[in-house]
Amino acid sequence: MRVDILQKIEGEAFLRYRFKKGRIEHVKIEFPHYRGVEEIMRGRPAEDAVAIAPRVCGICGHSHLIAAAEALENAAGVTPPLKARYIRNVTLGCELIQNHIKWLYLVILPLLKRMGFREVPFFEAIDKSATAGKIIAIFGGQYPHTSYAVLGGVCSDPTLLEIQKAKLFAKEIEDFFHSEVMEEIERFSEFKDSRGILKEIYIFLKHKELLDIGRAHDRFLNLREGTKILGLKRVSAKLRYVSTAPSGIGYAKNALYKGKYFEVGPLARRIHTPFVKDLHRRYKDGLFTRIAARVYEIKILLSQLKETLKKIEPQGDSFVKTDSLAEGTGEAVVEAPRGSLIHRVKIKKGKIERYEIITPTQFNLSNGTSLNPGPAQKAVIGLRDRSEAELVFRSFDICSVCTTH
């Protein structure tokens, strides 16, 4: 048994490898320490959920915020005004953008460097991820950890000039992305003649024959959209079939859909775009497809960001007042940086009686058995090199702090 510490992800995880004839036969993933966020929620006034939820995670707390606000709205039977929904889409999208940029430059590239890739300075990238935070701050006051999304809408009422400023910031990120990370292309056929970090990673991994390692179950979930994807076939998926089960190790629970392990995240969300589809045809749900899907998602998010910013009309309402939320149950699913994130809440006499959070990493890093492994476990079976296995793990963009909320 070899125990590695997966670090400089969001928090840490222990990887307990079992080798057979020099190859990984099985790996147990242990997330240490439970912080009790669901317990902290219990007994608090329902409205407090939006203040506590972001504290689950420093990098995707905004997704937890939106999930909490929507779970309360679901319980109250309230639909926030259109303008509030647009604004939430803007800030949520920006959280994904800053996450993906940081993941590429701080989680993936340093490991690739250890494997022989060139040194890539990260300051400009970090600066651009901070720019995404500026857009969130225009609407939400600050990033990380605002609680500007509340039951019934958002707190802010942005002016036209503020929206203009957000557009300017979006353009800055876009310019950086297209000049440094990947050119504006739609298909893999164009990729070969393009330039950027992603292309370099492609060449590097191709040279090392690592493009298609790390294949998982080729089963995906996009719960916000309400679909599961099996062999590229999209069928409807319902939240009620999501369940959790003890993982038998550490504090994290496994997350399953109808009793099976599924992959969530950018690959699940973008598998039907021409670019990712092309890659999937070649490399299946392997390492490069997974990495490229997350990078390519930045491009999609940036163009959605521009479109949504145009739709925010100053004259609309940001908030609709609800009678105090006394009783009810609600659930919500948000596509967070790492995939489908579920919040469930039960409210009694205005207080939170039960709160449940199921995070994307619980899906992707479920601890199965060697016969029925979780997605990431499956993806490293058969590998000889622990650095390669680590790279595969990192391609899932693991959040330990979320998982041990």
- CB of residue 340 vs other proteins: minimum separation in angstroms? 20
- Give CA torsion, residues 219, 224, 226, 232, to 10 deg: -30
Joined together, the tokens standing for residue 16 give 């307990």
Give buried/exposed letters for 333-344 (b at 16+ CB in 10 A, else e): bbbbbbbbbbbb
Q: Is the peptide bond before 314 cis (omega within 30 degrees of 0)?
A: no
Radius of gyration over alpha carbons of the chain, in Å?
A: 21
Q: Alpha carbon of 350 to those of 65, 69, 194, 323, 347: distances in Å?
A: 19, 15, 56, 11, 6
- CB of residue 244 vs other proteins: minimum separation in angstroms? 19
Burial group, residue 11, by CB count within 10 angstroms (0-12, 13-18, 19+): buried
Q: Which residues pair with 149 in a beta bridge?
A: 154
State the residue for tokens 């995670």.
57
- CB of residue 267 vs other proteins: minimum separation in angstroms? 23
- CB of residue 235 vs other proteins: minimum separation in angstroms? 30
- CB of residue 84 vs other proteins: minimum separation in angstroms? 7
Joined together, the tokens standing for residue 213 give 């390692």
Is the CB of 126 or the CB of 239 nearer to other proteins? 126
- CB of residue 113 vs other proteins: minimum separation in angstroms? 8
Is the CB of 112 or the CB of 237 nearer to other proteins? 112
63 in Cβ contact with 91 (< 8 Å): no
Is the CB of 143 or the CB of 177 nearer to other proteins? 143
Pairing of strands 339-348, 328-336: antiparallel
- CB of residue 166 vs other proteins: minimum separation in angstroms? 9
- CB of residue 251 vs other proteins: minimum separation in angstroms? 11
Task: Measure the CA–CA gap between 229 and 262, rounded to whole angstroms.
Answer: 9
Nearest to 291 by CA among 270, 322, 272: 270
Is the CB of 45 or the CB of 382 nearer to other proteins? 45
Is the CB of 289 or the CB of 361 nearer to other proteins? 361
Is the CB of 55 or the CB of 224 nearer to other proteins? 55
Count other Cβ atoms within 10 Å, centred on residue 307.
Answer: 11
Is the CB of 154 or the CB of 197 nearer to other proteins? 154
Is the CB of 165 or the CB of 272 nearer to other proteins? 165
Is the CB of 98 or the CB of 364 nearer to other proteins? 98
- CB of residue 256 vs other proteins: minimum separation in angstroms? 26
Is the CB of 72 or the CB of 242 nearer to other proteins? 72
- CB of residue 364 vs other proteins: minimum separation in angstroms? 18
Joined together, the tokens standing for residue 49 give 């959920």
Phi/psi at 331 (5° precision): -145, 160
HSE at residue 238, side-chain half, CA atoms within 13 A, is 3
Task: Measure the CA–CA gap between 360 and 225, rounded to whole angstroms.
Answer: 15
Nearest to 335 by CA among 187, 227, 244, 198: 227
- CB of residue 228 vs other proteins: minimum separation in angstroms? 30
* Coil/strand/helix, residue 9: strand
Is the CB of 12 or the CB of 353 nearer to other proteins? 12
